[in-house]
A = this chain, B = another copy of it.
Amino acid sequence: MNKRITIYDLAKMLNVSPGTVSRSLNDHPSISKKTKERVIAKANELGYKSNKFAANLSKQQTNTIGIIVPKLDSYFMSSMLAGIEKTVNEAGYNLIISQSLESMEKEKLNAATLFSSSVDAILVSLAYDTSSFEHFTPFIQHNIPLLFLDRVHHIPNCATLIIDNRLAGEEATEHLIQQGCKNLLYIGGNPQRNVYSDRFKGFKDAHLKNNFTVDASYYLESDLSRDSIGMIVAHLKSTNRKIDGLFVASDTFAAHLIKALVQGGYKVPEDLKIIGFNNDPVSELVTPTLSTIDYPGYEMGVLAGQSVISQLKGSINFKLANTITLRHQLIIRESTLNNK
């Protein structure tokens, strides 16, 4: 096992001081070109790698960014992470990823770990059941940038990155109405999460605009897991209102639902039109193909990375620019179309 070589080794071999080696390696202006070259040449020759922990310790910054996501195994999350990882990596940061597994308790633990790992910044997409936010105060107290994305909570001086879920919900609903649906139902997750409640707001707004009645019973709360498909189908069958349009807050759930409904004898879109959310790849593969709202996960990740980095570099004042809203887009496919 080769001993890892340090600036002291280099210094000794080159007959200079460790300080000079350090400065050379960091391209400090007060070192002559000649010396720099000698040092760098030797460093390469010996395969010198700086010890990040020593560097972090003295520089008091870690070049790591932490992120807490609910779960990573969805297309949306993983493409968002892909975008974040790529962006922060190019800026020289490492990304520590942790999952709350949709549990506030785990989220607290993760936050504590990341805090004690001295991340330079932290990104958070909230767990399903998170209802208090004190676990983020250490970051705020220590002025560590905290950015919420997608599943957000507004805390003063914390940036948030979202799409306009209300508007997207309105557009989706409006589309269903234009396709002739009269009796709509919204299927979403925990309304404490902005993504679900805001979409329902849009759903309501579209109703009001079209002089349709709407009340809380139009919000069918579900954990959007595959196991709940059966309950939803049962609900649709048993309800006295004859539902002819469904706005589902998740494409994968919508896709499974379509499959189940078709097997259960429903005709989609003839009997029942369905629109999803996210533009997950499955929406193109299911039959009928699923109309949806395109929700740019990767771009969101890139933007999140960029904004957190510019925050770290101090090049943007986030006290001012506090909320970034990304574009979204209605995508019409077969599951909401009349003709054919």
Q: Which of B1, B78, B252 contacts A74 (CB 8 A)?
A: B78
Chain B residue contacts of A256, Cβ below 8 A: 284-285
Let me know if A136 is at the binding interface, CB within 8 A. no
Interface centre among A49, A79, A95, A112 (most CB of B within 10 A): A49
Interface residues on A, range: 35 or more
Question: Which residues 38-90 in A have Cβ within 8 Å of B in the complex?
Answer: 47, 49-54, 56-57, 62, 64, 71-75, 77-79, 81-82, 85-86, 89
> Nearest residue in B to A286 (C-beta to C-beta)?
B285
Chain B residue at minimum C-beta to C-beta distance from A66: B94
How many copies of this chain does one complex carry? Answer: 2
A282 at interface by CB-CB < 8 Å: yes
Q: Are A95 and B94 within 8 A (Cβ)?
A: no
- State whether B72 touches A101 (Cβ < 8 A): no
* A102-122 vs B, Cβ < 8 Å mask (1 yes, 0 no): 000000001011011110000
CB distance from A230 to the nearest CB of B (A): 15
* A residues at B contact (CB < 8 Å): 1-2, 4, 47, 49-54, 56-57, 62, 64, 71-75, 77-79, 81-82, 85-86, 89, 94-99, 101, 110, 112-113, 115-118, 138, 141-143, 252, 255-256, 259, 281-282, 284-287, 298
Q: List 19 A-B contacts (CB under 8 A).
A: A1-B142, A2-B141, A49-B112, A51-B116, A53-B118, A54-B57, A64-B96, A72-B81, A73-B78, A73-B79, A94-B113, A94-B117, A95-B98, A96-B96, A96-B97, A252-B281, A255-B285, A256-B284, A285-B286
* 12 more A-B residue pairs beyond the given contacts A53-B57, A95-B96, A281-B282, with a C-beta to C-beta distance below 8 A: A1-B141, A49-B116, A52-B116, A53-B53, A72-B72, A73-B79, A73-B298, A85-B97, A94-B117, A97-B97, A256-B285, A286-B286
